[in-house]
Amino acid sequence: MPVGQAPRTGRRPVPAVRHQLSEMVASHVREAIMIGELRAPDYIRTEHLAAELGISATPVREALMILHSEGAVRWEPRRGFRVLPITAQDVADLFAVQAHIAGELAARAARALDDAEIERLQRIQTRLEAAARDRDAEQVDRLNHEIHRTINRSSASHRMTSLLSLTVHYVPLGFFGTIEGWAEASAHDHSAVFDALRAHDADAARDAMAEHIRHIGRLLIDHLKSHDVLSEPTSGNRPAHQT
Amino acid sequence: MPVGQAPRTGRRPVPAVRHQLSEMVASHVREAIMIGELRAPDYIRTEHLAAELGISATPVREALMILHSEGAVRWEPRRGFRVLPITAQDVADLFAVQAHIAGELAARAARALDDAEIERLQRIQTRLEAAARDRDAEQVDRLNHEIHRTINRSSASHRMTSLLSLTVHYVPLGFFGTIEGWAEASAHDHSAVFDALRAHDADAARDAMAEHIRHIGRLLIDHLKSHDVLSEPTSGNRPAHQT
DNA sequence: TGTCGGCGGATTCTATAGAATATTGCACCG
DNA sequence: CGGTGCAATATTCTATAGAATCCGCCGACA
């Protein structure tokens, strides 16, 4: 047992227990994969990770189940969970799908949003652009989320929204703040989306949003490339699911 | 405790233990939702379901985590898991996304598959058509899976394939066999896909596959409607994820 | 009468134990 | 020298216990 400080009742090593451990661990692992700390064919051992985090194996296992169904790790029953490789193609595909979904939702929002809500969004966008100029990445991240969340909720398309969040979760919260050029891109691309929303032009909104997402995807690929996180495209077969 | 027969070591109530309990429970719940046994705002109580299945709460909870990230149930921390409503729009959206992904994969397959593999697929398709004529739904289901699996694997696009299986999982395995007209539709639609594959025409393959999936989606909606499984479109806000 | 607060039951959530299963190293045999 | 069986070890996986939290109820008090 390397660390193994078993937390007794009443005292916890984790600071604030607002979210559940499973979610926290899932985020932790997503981030570890994203920064290349956990790499392609590694097994993630539940007990080890649990000891590292000062918790028990149960929530770790739950987190890995989630990550498995998200496609970030593969579950080999009675063997363990292992990290799946990330190729540039994978990221591009993920964002292509995300662009498709987000585009459709933006199109619906263009029909559904009334002018007052668009006005409110516009004010958030103005703040976002200011934050982008100030290089306040965290603030940009927050405002960006607020904008996308509002657009998606207005579409009232629950199922599609949940598919979207699934692809969005792939990139850990706050990660974009660390990417060169992201804040500027976000500030810039949104203006085209807003033009379309104001005109209630569904097709234009779809195109603008989709292009925005693909743009972000390209930035992410560049970032991952330069940080040597991506795997080579594998010619062989390493299916993520047995389907 | 209604059932509560605690399984001692060596003997299990579940027949064959090839898959893990979590997966089995997930399938079980997916099916219960699909046939309307579990309905819209119901909570799924882990201990209750565990007792019903003669297992413990841990794998049940793991299954619900998976279903949560798939978007079938909503997790309210410290409250429980509850079934999310299914509207006709939701199913249509799900299949629209699935059509987009499967179409893209078919397009890649049209470029990647060599003639020998297409020939092999064609033989499976011939058997599928025969099975469809014989009303052997189970056999159609198997062959159908084999065809789609081959097409998807040939594309070597792991990430996109895993997104696809996520949407595919929404409908439990073998469920289509119970749907009126599905076998015929499958047999019929595939022929257009095969024409495109043989011609290595990526765009035609994309269109044919997408149309096929949307067709299946329409059949599913009709089925769910006539079995009174669908919820009314909710005007209010019931977000699946907090994003 | 209406509201606040605490009490009790139900449920979630994390920790932990033990059985089942996989893996590794090594001795033994061909 | 190579392969095979076996024992030791590591890990997964399910069950279970107990703490934390939530919910409804009821009585006190304004």
pLDDT tens by residue, A148-173: 999 999 999 999 999 999 999 999 98
Q: Are A137 and A178 in contact (CB under 8 A)?
A: yes
Which residues make beta-bridge pairs with A81?
A44, A75
Nearest nucleotide (C1') to the CA of residue A78? Answer: D12
CB contact under 8 A, A166 and B166: yes
Q: Does B160 touch chain A (CB under 8 A)?
A: yes
> Which structure tokens are listed for A219?
């930035």
CB contact under 8 A, B161 and A58: no
Task: Compare CB distances from A157 to B86, B93, B168 and report the shortest one's residue.
Answer: B93
CA atoms of A137 and A131, how far apart (whole Å): 7
Q: Which A residues, 171 through 200, put their C-beta within 8 Å of a C-beta on chain B?
A: none
- Percent of chain B's residues with pLDDT above 70: 89
B235 falls in which pLDDT band (50, 70, 90)? low
pLDDT above 80: residue A238: no
pLDDT of residue A18: 57
Task: Compare CB distances from B65 to A66, A86, A149 and report the shortest one's residue.
Answer: A66
pLDDT above 90: residue B174: no
Residue B152: partners with Cβ closer than 8 Å, 6 or more residues away: A243, B102, B105, B109, B161, B164
Q: Inter-axis angle of helices B137-154 and B115-133, to 10 degrees?
A: 160
State whether the beta carbon of A9 lies below 7 angstroms from any atom of strand D. yes
Identify the closest residue of chain A to B172 by CA–CA distance. A243
pLDDT above 60: residue A87: yes
Q: Which B residues, 118 through 137, put their C-beta within 8 Å of a C-beta on chain A?
A: none
Residue A37: partners with Cβ closer than 8 Å, 6 or more residues away: none
B166 falls in which pLDDT band (50, 70, 90)? very high
Which residues make beta-bridge pairs with B73?
B83
Identify the closest residue of chain A to B145 by CA–CA distance. A243
Q: How far is CA B117 from CA A42, A110, B114, B123, in A?
A: 33, 45, 6, 10
Look up tokens 């020939």; give the residue. B119
Q: Does A160 touch chain B (CB under 8 A)?
A: yes
A-interface mutation test, from B22, B162, B164, B173, most A Cβ less than 10 A away: B162
Between A99 and B184, the higher pLDDT residue: A99
* Chain A: closest CA distance from residue B78 (Å): 8
> Which structure tokens are listed for B116?
């020998």
Contact residues on chain A for B19, CB-CB shorter than 8 A: 77
Chain B 46-105 residues in 7 Å CB range of strand D: 50, 55-59, 62, 78-79
Task: Compare CB distances from B62 to A61, A78, A93 and report the shortest one's residue.
Answer: A61
Identify the closest residue of chain B to A93 by CA–CA distance. B160
Average pLDDT over residues A108-121: 94
Q: Are B27 and B172 in contact (CB under 8 A)?
A: yes
A106 falls in which pLDDT band (50, 70, 90)? very high
B10 falls in which pLDDT band (50, 70, 90)? very low
pLDDT above 90: residue B3: no
Whats the size of chain B, residue-wise? Answer: 243
* Chain B: closest CA distance from residue A129 (Å): 22
A114 falls in which pLDDT band (50, 70, 90)? very high
Residue A186: partners with Cβ closer than 8 Å, 6 or more residues away: A128, A132, A140, A144, A176, A212, A216
pTM for the whole thing? 0.89
Tens-digit pLDDT profile for residues B99-125 = 999 999 999 999 999 999 999 999 999
Task: Compare CB distances from B100 to A19, A100, A238 and report the shortest one's residue.
Answer: A100
The 8-class DSSP code of residue A14 comes to S
Residue B16: partners with Cβ closer than 8 Å, 6 or more residues away: none
pLDDT above 80: residue A6: no
Q: Are A68 and A240 in contact (CB under 8 A)?
A: no
Q: Are B161 and A243 in contact (CB under 8 A)?
A: yes
Residue B103: partners with Cβ closer than 8 Å, 6 or more residues away: B205, B206, B207, B209, B210, B213
pLDDT of residue A2: 31
A91 falls in which pLDDT band (50, 70, 90)? very high
Nearest nucleotide (C1') to the CA of residue A8? Answer: C15
* Chain B: closest CA distance from residue A146 (Å): 10
pLDDT above 80: residue A11: no
Which residues make beta-bridge pairs with A44?
A81
